[in-house]
Structure 1
């Protein structure tokens, strides 16, 4: 039996997962990850007292749109990677577009500032802890995303692990935003993004071993 025959024989034994069921599983696990991270933030850091007052604030909304957009496109990437042969162009372009939009916001923000305000907008008051906290909080969501990934059929386990970790990091960043008072695009684009990427890297390292067939 040659290699092609062996691959076809193995593929013939694989039980196909209905696309709708797989998508529903990823959505549910992402939602449970978000609830888990919100619970961790609420129990350990607390929710900001003025949340109701800032819920319609442009900076707060931008942060939530940014982090939840990353979560959504990363979840779609995880779903596509878990279905061998499925195209991944749309979720990757979505992630790139989301990053491009936040970078445009940074450029506009920085161009309107002067002097030390540039650095202040970038560092805020909590740059030392933001990335670490987002990465740590993402650990509460990770098991849910890996549960979903394990029930798919990722042909590239490292990449699928990165996608799962990125979803976990993004929902953690969204949850952390319920506590964090920082409101500049420069802060968000740097320290929140680094936290999400750190979660993705952890996910990639774990996926290399946990998501292998």
Structure 2
């Protein structure tokens, strides 16, 4: 067989790749996972009874902004990790920006209260359960995002799975804000962050198995 004939045969029936396939997979995964997290929240913890008041309270939206911005940062990095050969570069720093901001805010709050009140601001009322509640709500998101990432071609499986876990934990934290009574920045800086980092750590550990080609 001549070379030209071989090339023509191999090229027969090839269709161009949909350039939006990655975004569609992630949108489906995030919508399905967030719906699952919201269902778990309503079935197990419930929405806080004063949610209507919270929706017009600025500090509530500041609380939501923390995991939302971290979710955006995780997604920015994850989008690069699922593309073979793509360089993440300075995008690695993006998820760290909201963490740094909330830590600065927490330190500012703690510096302006008496020393006797600082521990209560950091522990709140639910420090024992908050991170694990977030991890529980992240389970549907973890499943959905692992499915989405498996549709791609990541080469750094640990990093991709860790960022998927961070994204799952961040979206789960947004959902958890509908229930959580804690309204102090130092609490979010410790326990919300812990709840988001646990799925990321599990993703790092389990990534080679979950995303193996």
Fold similarity call, TM over 0.5: yes
1:38 aligns with 38
Q: CA RMSD in A?
A: 1.7
Cα deviation, 1:173-202, whole Å, max 9, x if unaligned, reads 111111000011100010010111001111
1:113 aligns with 113
Larger Rg: 2
Q: Following TM superposition, by how much is the alpha carbon of 1:123 offset from its aligned partner in structure 2, in angstroms?
A: 0.3
Task: Check 1:17–1:135 CA distance in 2 against 1; reply closer, same or farther (3 A cut).
Answer: farther
Task: Check 1:110–1:153 CA distance in 2 against 1; reply closer, same or farther (3 A cut).
Answer: same
CA distance in 2, matches of 1:205, 1:42: 30
1:55/1:61 contact within 8 Å kept:
yes
Structure 1: runs of 5+ lacking an equivalent? 1-14
Cα deviation, 1:100-150, whole Å, max 9, x if unaligned, reads 111111121112211321111100000000011111221121110001100
Query: Under a length normalisation based on structure 1, what TM-score does the superposition of the two structures give?
Result: 0.87
Query: Under a length normalisation based on structure 2, what TM-score does the superposition of the two structures give?
Result: 0.87
Task: Check 1:16–1:125 CA distance in 2 against 1; reply closer, same or farther (3 A cut).
Answer: farther
Structure 2: runs of 5+ lacking an equivalent? 1-14
1:26/1:79 contact within 8 Å kept:
no
CA distance in 1, matches of 2:17, 2:78: 14
Work out the number of aligned pairs and report it: 199
